[in-house]
Amino acid sequence: MADTVADVHQHEAHGHDDHHHDQSWLEKYVFSTDHKIIGMQYMFTGIFMAVIGGYMAYVFRMQLAFPGISVPGFGQVSPGEYNALITNHGTIMIFWVAMPVLIAAFGNFLIPLMIGADDMVFPRINRLSFQIFFLSSIVLLGSLFVEGGGFGGAWTSYPPLSANGDYNQTQLGASLWLIAVALEFVAFLLGGINFITTLMNSRAPGMKAYDIPLVCWMIVIASILFMLSVGPLLAGAVMLLFDQTLGTGFYDPARGGDPILWQHLFWFFGHPEVYVVLLPAIGITVEVMATFARKKIFGYKLVLYTAVATGVLSFFVWAHHQFIAGIDPRMANVFTITTLLISVPIAEMLFVMIATLYGGSIRLTTPMLWALAFMAEFLIGGVTGIFLGASGADIYFHDTYFVLAHFHYTFFPIAIIGSFCAFTYWFPKMFGKMMNDTLGKIHFWGTVIPFNFIFIPLFVLGMGGQHRRIYNFQHFPQIAGPEYFQLRELATIALLVMLAFQLVFFYNVISSWMRGEKAGKNPWKANTLEWTTESPAPHGNWPVDELPTVYRGPYEYGHPDREEDYWPQNLPN
C-alpha cells in the first residue's frame, strides 16, 4: 500500500518529500506543509494583528480620556475614525487574534505532537487554510484605507446600519470588512476539519479516547462548535453582502426584510464563538496546572463532559444579546434560564482546577502564574455575566460600559492570558530555548495588574449608565461629570502601562530565542508526548521508527509506585 501511495504521488512534487532534499527558505517557512511551521505562521500573524488591535485600543482610549487631543502616533480622532477603530479593534481581537492564536496556532502546533502523529492528516489543506487566513488579514487591513474609511458599524455589524452605504458612509469598507470575515471563516472551517479528522483517526497506537490530553479535546470540541454554528452566519453574510452590493432587501423592513434576522444569525454563531475560544484556553490552563501542581487532573472526564455540555448549551443562549431588541418577553425568559444554566458547567471546570491545585506541590513558574491568573480573572468575567444574562437587569445594563467590561474580563483572560500561558509553557518546545523567568514574571505582573485597573473603572462607569458607543462624553453634559472623567483617565493610563509592559515580552522572546538556555527534550518534566521529541521538533516530529506508542493517560504525576514524580505516556513501565 505504502509503495503504491508513493508511486501515485510522483507527479505531486512538493509536500512531504522534504526530508530528502534541501529546501529553499521559501519552501521551508512560507509554503511549508509542516504543521509546526503553519502553527507559527498563524501565531506570528496573530501577534502582528494583536499589535494593531492594541494600537487601535490606545488611540480610542486616548480620545475617550482626553477628548479632542491630538493622539501621539495618530493625530486627531474624527467620529468616523473613532467608529472604525472600535469596530476593527473588536473584529481583529476576536477573529484575527483569539481564533488564530488559540485555535489555529496551538491546534496546529500541539495536536499532532500531543497525539504522537507526524503531521496533520491533510497537510496541504492545512497550508491552504493559512493562505486563505492570510489573504483575509490583508483584505481586513486594506478595508481601513479605502475611500470613506474603514467600516464603523461595530464588530457585530447590525443592519440596517451595515447594509446600506447611505447610513454607514463606508460603502466599500463595509463590504471589504464582510468579505474578510467570511474568508476567515472559510479558513477556519478548513483548519477545523483537519483538526477533527486528525484527532479522530491519527492517534498514536494505544492512545484511547481518555488518554488524549485535554487541550487537544478542547480545541477539537471548539472546532466542532465553530463548524456547526458558523454556517447560518455564512449564509447570512452572503445575504448582507447582497444587500450592500446588489441592493436586495433581506434586512430591510421597508421591503419585507427583517433586521433582527441578522442579530439571530450573528449571535447564533457569536455566542458559541465565546466558547470556541474559551474551551482551548481552559484546556491550556488545565494542562499547565497539572504539570506545575505535579498532580493528576482532579476530574479528567468531568472536564471533558462539561465541555461537551457547554458546547450543546451554547447553541441555546444567543438571544440574551437581544433582550432589548424587541424580542418576545416570553422568549427572553427562556433565554435567561439557559444563559444562567451555562454557568454551571463552566463553574464545574473552575472547581476542577481548584481541586487539582489542592494538595499539589505547586511551582510558581511563569506559565503557572498565567494559568492561575486565567482562573481568577475569568471568574470575575463569568460572575458579571450573571447580571447581563438576567433579562431584567440587562434592560438597564445593555450597551453600557458594564457590558464592555464584562466581556473584556472574559475575552482578555481567554485570548491574552490564555495565549501567554500557552506561549510561555510551550516556548521551549517551539524554539528549543528556555524563556527568562524573571522577565516573564515582570511581564506577567505588568500585564495583569494594569488589566484590572483598566476594566474595574469601566464596570463603575457602566453602572453609572454610560453608553459604550459615545465618541466624546463632553457632548453630553449630564454624564460628563469630573468623577467619571477621572475613572476614564485611570483606565487609559492603566492601558498605557500595560502596553508598555508588552515591550518586556517582546524583548524576552527575542533575547531568549537568540541566547536563552538550551531547553532539552522535557524541561518541565511533563508527561504528554510532545515532550518526548527534540526541542524544537524536526519535520515529521519523530524519526519514523520512533513514533511513540501510548500506555497511559496524560496526567500521571506523583504516582506512589514510582521514584520519579512523573510518568510519560510513552513509557511501557
To other proteins, the closest distance from the beta carbon of 433 in angstroms equals 27
Among 39, 90, 100, 112, binds other proteins (CB under 8 A): 112
Among 235, 331, 344, 510, binds other proteins (CB under 8 A): 235
* Residue 13 binds to other proteins (criterion: CB under 8 A): yes
Q: CB under 8 A: which stretch of 22-30, 169-177, 242-250, 445-453 binds other proteins? A: 242-250
**Considering CB under 8 A, how many residues would be counted as binding other proteins?**
64
Site string for other proteins, 165-204 (x = CB under 8 A): ------------------------x--xxx-xxx-xxxx-
Residues 6+ apart with CB under 8 A from 511: 436, 439
Among 16, 294, 467, 521, binds other proteins (CB under 8 A): 16
Residue 454 corresponds to which amino acid?
I
Among 67, 142, 165, 540, binds other proteins (CB under 8 A): 540
Residues 6+ apart with CB under 8 A from 203: 115, 116, 117, 212, 550
Q: What residues pair up with 76 in beta bridges, in sequence order?
A: 70
Q: Which three cell numbers stand for residue 159?
A: 443592519
Going by C-alpha positions, the residue among 77, 230, 254, 90 that lies closest to residue 164 is 254
Residue 5 or 514: the one with the smaller Cβ distance to other proteins is: 5
Element (H, E) at 217: helix 214-245
Site string for other proteins, 261-280 (x = CB under 8 A): x---x--x------------
Contacts 24+ apart (CB under 8 A), 167-173: 169/80, 170/80, 170/84, 171/244, 172/143, 172/146, 172/147, 172/148, 173/84, 173/143, 173/144, 173/146, 173/148, 173/149
Integer Cα distance of 299 and 319 in angstroms: 32
* Residue 14 binds to other proteins (criterion: CB under 8 A): yes
Q: Which three cell numbers stand for residue 164?
A: 446600506
To other proteins, the closest distance from the beta carbon of 123 in angstroms equals 6
Q: CB under 8 A: which stretch of 119-127, 366-374, 439-447, 459-467 binds other proteins? A: 119-127
Torsion 305-309-314-317 (CA) sign: negative
Among 54, 90, 123, 272, binds other proteins (CB under 8 A): 123
Contacts 24+ apart (CB under 8 A), 401-405: 401/458, 401/459, 401/461, 401/462, 401/466, 401/467, 401/468, 402/458, 402/459, 402/461, 402/462, 402/463, 403/462, 403/468, 404/458, 404/462, 404/468, 405/455, 405/456, 405/458, 405/459, 405/462
Among 58, 60, 151, 250, binds other proteins (CB under 8 A): 250
Q: Are 397 and 321 in contact (CB under 8 A)?
A: no
Residue 268 or 323: the one with the smaller Cβ distance to other proteins is: 268
* Footprint (CB under 8 A) of other proteins, residues 319-358: none
The neighbour count for residue 401, using CB atoms within 10 Å, is: 28
To other proteins, the closest distance from the beta carbon of 8 in angstroms equals 5
Among 22, 24, 73, 246, binds other proteins (CB under 8 A): 246
To other proteins, the closest distance from the beta carbon of 15 in angstroms equals 5
Among 53, 236, 428, 554, binds other proteins (CB under 8 A): 236
Q: Which three cell numbers stand for residue 34?
A: 509542516
Among 99, 105, 230, 279, binds other proteins (CB under 8 A): 230
What are the start-end ranges of the H helices in 468-557?
Answer: 482-515
To other proteins, the closest distance from the beta carbon of 478 in angstroms equals 41
Among 231, 299, 464, 536, binds other proteins (CB under 8 A): 231
To other proteins, the closest distance from the beta carbon of 283 in angstroms equals 20
Residue 75 or 247: the one with the smaller Cβ distance to other proteins is: 247
* Residue 254 binds to other proteins (criterion: CB under 8 A): no
* Footprint (CB under 8 A) of other proteins, residues 406-445: none
To other proteins, the closest distance from the beta carbon of 244 in angstroms equals 13
Integer Cα distance of 445 and 416 in angstroms: 13
To other proteins, the closest distance from the beta carbon of 475 in angstroms equals 38
Integer Cα distance of 289 and 215 in angstroms: 12
Integer Cα distance of 42 and 104 in angstroms: 6
Name the site residues for other proteins (rule: CB under 8 A): 1-2, 5-10, 12-17, 20-21, 112, 117-123, 189, 192-194, 196-198, 200-203, 207, 227-236, 238-239, 242, 246-250, 255-258, 261, 265, 268, 540, 544, 547
